[in-house]
Amino acid sequence: MESINRAEGKVPLWKLFTAFMRIGAFTFGGGYAMLPMLETECVEKTGWITKEELLDYFAIGQCTPGVIAVNTATFVGKKKRGVLGAFVATAGVVFPSFVIICLIAALLQNFAEIKPVQYALRGIRVAVGVLIINTVVKLIREKLKDWLGYVLCALAFALVAFLDVSPVFVVIGAALVGVVRFLIAGRKGGNGV
According to CB under 8 A, which residues from 38 to 77 bind another protein?
A: 40, 44, 52, 55-56, 58-60, 62-71, 74-75
83 interacts with another protein by CB under 8 A: yes
Q: What angle do CA 150, 151, 155 make, to 5 degrees?
A: 120
Note whether 148 and 156 are within 8 A (CB).
no
Site string for another protein, 89-128 (x = CB under 8 A): -x--xx-xxx-xxx-xxx---xxxx-xxxxxxxxxxxxxx
Cα torsion through 179, 58, 140, 136, rounded to 10 = 160
Angle between helices 167-189 and 147-163 (to 10 degrees): 160
Q: Kindly state the smallest distance separating residue 154's Cβ from another protein, in Å.
A: 7
84 interacts with another protein by CB under 8 A: no
**Contacting another protein (CB under 8 A), which of 11, 16, 19, 35?**
35
Max CA separation in the chain (angstroms): 67
179 interacts with another protein by CB under 8 A: yes
**Contacting another protein (CB under 8 A), which of 20, 27, 42, 49?**
27
Interface stretch with another protein, choices 3-11, 12-20, 177-185 (CB under 8 A): 177-185
Q: Judged by CB under 8 A, how many residues of this single chain contact another protein? A: 110
Specify the residue, 14 or 97, whose C-beta has the smaller distance to another protein.
Answer: 97
Burial 119-158 (b: 16+ CB within 10 A, else e): eeeeeeeeebeebbeebeeebeeeeeeeeeeeebbeebee
Q: Kindly state the smallest distance separating residue 118's Cβ from another protein, in Å.
A: 7
Q: What's the chain's length in residues?
A: 193
Q: Kindly state the smallest distance separating residue 178's Cβ from another protein, in Å.
A: 2
Site residues (CB under 8 A) for another protein, limited to 155-174: 155-158, 160-161, 166-168, 170-171, 173-174
State which amino acid sits at residue 134: N
**Contacting another protein (CB under 8 A), which of 18, 47, 50, 78?**
78
Q: In 3D, which of 35, 25, 60, 39 has the Cα closest to residue 132? A: 35
7 interacts with another protein by CB under 8 A: no
